[in-house]
Structure 1
Amino acid sequence: MADERRARFETSSGIELPNDFNPSNTKAVDYDTDLGDPGHYPYTRGARRNMYRGKFWTMRQYAGFATAEESNERYKYLLSQGTTGLSVAFDLPT
């Protein structure tokens, strides 16, 4: 897959993982019923074909407080610290 971050993936024990799990390397399960292809029913393996190998999951922070300016400052801080998505509190009591 051209958009993967790395060419080789392995467990913390050093066991190399295949690019995907398919009927030829998952003989112990009913592949179509229990597992399926990534991005396809029954979605046990996520919504995208290459999952997090091609795109990291979104790390969200829920934030919002005080004034609009202070909230904006907080959002910018969270993004600078690695947050990749914001869940904004729009209707806070004032």
Structure 2
Amino acid sequence: LVEAEPQQLADCELLGDLVPHSLALMSLFSRAPPELPSPHQSANWSVARLSKWLDQHKSEKERLELLNGALQKYQQIVRSQNKASFHPVYPVMMSVLEQTS
């Protein structure tokens, strides 16, 4: 899964069972371009602070809320800049997030 294309990761049968959705999303964030900031960048946190937060928040629901916040912030940035479209990885990330509901 580490080398899987974004859509392959989103379509993986192990997603949600053996691979938490939050882990898949973190993997996708790590491959996203700088215009789609990672959760720690969105929250103005250091990587160390994100790591500590993840250690203290084991709940998948809480982790997904953090990741969703980063995606929502990106969406707001794109709209405020009147860009014509989102980066191609964004809809894939949203589809992973939607699988959790």
Higher relative contact order (CA 8 A, sep 6+): 2
TM-score, normalised to structure 2, is 0.21
Q: Which of the pair is proportionally richer in helix?
A: 2
Q: Which has the larger Rg? A: 1
TM-score, normalised to structure 1, is 0.22
Q: Which of the pair is proportionally richer in strand?
A: 1
